[in-house]
Every structure is written in C-alpha cells, then in structure tokens.
Amino acid sequence: MTNQKRIFSGVQPTGNLHIGNYLGAIKNWLELQEKYQCVFCIVDYHALTVRQNPKIFQKKILEVAKIYLAAGIDPEKSIIFVQSDVLQHTELTWILNTLTKIPELNRMTQFKEKSERFEKNVNVGLFDYPVLMAADILLYQTDIVPVGDDQTQHIELTKILAKRFNKIYGPVFKIPEGLIKKEGARIMALDNPMKKMSKSSTNPANYLALTDSPEIIRKKIKSAVTDSGKEIKLDLQKPAVSNLLMIYHLLSQQPIQEIEKKYQSKGYAEFKSGLAEIIVEFLKPFQEKFQELGKNEDYVKNVLSEGAEKAQALAEETMKKVRKKIGLIN
Ligand code: ATP
Ligand code: LTN
C-alpha cells in the first residue's frame, strides 16, 4: 500500500452535477480507484466562495456524496470525505497564503471569469480559491490529480507552491501532476458550444444533469444548439455537433467513426434522438442507485465520517512535518 501512487480530486457541492463533471472527472476516478490509493473530496469550503443557501447546502453536500457512490466510487477502495471535516485544509491554506504572491492569483482565469459573473460578491475567498485547492492536494502527498481541463492553471500553481515551500523550508511536499484526459476534459454547454458545460449556469438548458429525468434529457438534447449544415462529424468547424458526438462516443463506447457512419445520411433530428436514448440508458442504473442511497442517508453519512477519519490521519501526518519545518510549536 505504501508505495502505491496517491490520487486526489474533488467536486464542489454547487448546482446540479452534470455529464461534463462525470466525463471530465468522475469517470476517470473509477479506473484509478482500481489501481491506486484514491482520496475523493466534496469541497464545501470552495463552494462557499459563491453565496450558498444555508438551508439547502447540507443537502447539496450529501447529494455529491450520493453521486460519487452511485457512479461507482467504492468506499472500500477509496476515501470519500467532506473538506470541512478535516481542519488541516484551512490550516495549510493559511501557511500557503504566506507563500503566494498576489499577481499569481490575479492571473487566474477562473477568478477573472467568476469575478465578472458574480460581480456583487468578489470576495477574498474567491481570490484565494486556488490556494485552498493547493492545500487540498498537497496535504495528501498526492501524485496525480484527475480533473477537467479548466483546472490546469490551478494545478500549475499547486506545483509552484509545493516547490517554493520545499525550497524555503526543506522537502515536505510531493510535487503532483494533473491528469487531464484528451477526450471529455471539456464538455461544452448545450446552449453554447463555445462555453464549457457549467453547473452554476442559470440556464438549465446549458447542462445535462446526472439526475435529469428521461423526459428532460430528451427535451434538452432536442433543443441543443447545432451548427449550420447537416453533417454529423467531428470537426473544429462544427463545435456543437462535435460536442454531442463526443458525449455519444464516451457514453456508448462506440468509436467516433462508427457513429459518424451510422448517421452519415441522416439528419440532426435522428442523431439527436439516438443520442438522447444513449444518455437515458447510461443514466438509468446510476439514477436507480442514487434513489436507493436517498433512502439510506445514514449509510451515506457513515461513509463520510469514516472517510473524514482516514483523511484526517493522512493530513495530520503532513501537517506535523509542515509545522516542524516552519518552526511552529507542535
Ligand atoms: P461551476 O460551474 O459551478 O464552477 P463546474 O461545473 O465547473 O462548476 P466543479 O465542481 O468546479 O464543476 O468541477 C468538478 C470537476 O468537473 C472538475 O474536475 C472539473 O474540471 C470538471 N468539469 C467541470 N466542468 C466540466 C466540463 N464542462 N467538461 C469536463 N469536465 C468538467
Ligand atoms: N477547483 C476544482 C475543485 C477542487 C479540486 C481540488 C479538484 C477543489 N480542490 C483538489 C482537484 C483537486 C474544480 O473542479 N472546480
């Protein structure tokens, strides 16, 4: 177990988890948990950088836990826990804050984008978001961070901070690497193929939620934006159709060319209805498990509390070294 590579990743309990979150992140976790020591977090402190409704926040946190479990993350193999249950995350964030330069955070595209989107609440937490993420990763001596491609910049900063700490205080942190798959790392929005599918979008037609009913899936796919022309093929000039084709390919496991061939002389309508059925079929077993877990919330809470205990032990091991190197009284 000890020389096994460690994997860490997380999802924010905001909005409705969508097929982009699944294909860009969670799907890859399933393969990784078979081989490596995996730690999967529900990053509730990150979610607080955008205003959350306290009355439903806890429900959202448990929902992500149920999604992890229903998707096949196995608590016998992987650690599943909630970020705020392990206080070392905020402790390390503070220490890393003292090593982070303001221009390094000013450069972050997610900060710029979210500052525009939530202009009335450009809070210090939103600015500091990448440092908390670096703390998440570094606490667990992580080797690999499987994420969608929007997280590349944050992972680069994590590496910089780890190296900077190690250089100033002596070696403590492992330098992690991001794992961003070629396919599925950026699923685009159904209503705008130039923007990534996003669960915090105000338009539900932007995303396919993992919990959408078959009727809703069919409706959303039917109204998804398409490109001019009528050919079904993977083509940079056809971002909307290429995105739909990629979803079809990744969920059905059929090669792209085969799908292109299947719909060669058919129009968008037929392709879309085929795609809707692929999605509905794919989501069926997932949604059944998700419903089942809804009836067994005690089990879910128990998974999280056992996960927190294991995560805490790992995090504390790192923090002991950090405190000592810095010269804090342990
Ligand atoms: P928000 O829009 O609220 O910022 P999000 O949809 O980006 O949320 P996160 O919780 O920030 O979701 O991301 C969880 C994981 O899903 C991350 O690894 C992220 O890179 C990945 N991810 C998010 N959106 C997509 C997408 N459209 N395509 C592929 N992967 C994605
Ligand atoms: N910022 C990430 C969520 C996240 C994360 C992490 C991902 C927070 N901490 C650590 C990987 C590793 C996002 O997907 N928006």
Looking at residue 229, what is its pLDDT?
87
pTM of the model: 0.94
Predicted confidence (pLDDT) per residue in 116-128, tens digit? 989 999 999 999 9
Residue 2: per-residue pLDDT: 54
Residues lower than pLDDT 70 in the chain: 1-3
**237 token code pair:** 């000039």
Q: Is 261 tagged catalytic?
A: no
Q: Spot the catalytic one: 66, 181, 199, 220.
A: 199
Residues 173-192: tens digit of each pLDDT: 999 999 999 999 899 999 99
Cα-to-centroid distance, 324 and ligand 1 (Å): 36
What gap in Å lies between CA 327 and CA 95, rounded to an integer? Answer: 12
Pairwise CA distance, residues 245 & 77, whole Å: 33
Q: Report the distance separating Cα 20 and Cα 27, nearest Å.
A: 10
Query: What is residue 213's predicted lDDT score, i.e. its pLDDT?
Result: 97
pLDDT of 199 reads 86
Cβ(306)–Cβ(272) below 8 Å: no
198 lines ligand 2 (CB under 6 A): no
Give pLDDT, residue 330. Answer: 74
Q: How far apart are CA 69 and CA 300, in angstroms?
A: 8
| Domains in the chain, CATH or no CATH each | 6-180+297-326 (3.40.50.620), 204-291 (1.10.240.10)
pLDDT in tens, 99-118: 999 999 999 999 999 999 89
d(CA 40, CA 33): 10
The reply to whether ligand 1 has any atom less than 6 angstroms from the CB of 186 is: yes
Task: Say if CB 170 and CB 229 are below 8 A apart.
Answer: no
Give how far Cα 36 sits from Cα of 1, 111, 304, Å: 9, 32, 20
Q: What is the pLDDT of residue 201?
A: 85
Cα(268)–Cα(196) distance, integer angstroms: 21
Contact between residue 180 and residue 148 where contact means Cβ atoms under 8 Å apart: yes
Check pocket membership of 136 for ligand 2, CB cut-off 6 A: yes
Q: Does the CB atom of residue 146 touch ligand 1 within 6 A?
A: no
CA of 322 to the centre of ligand 1 (A): 30
Which pLDDT score, from 0 to 100, does residue 253 have?
Answer: 94
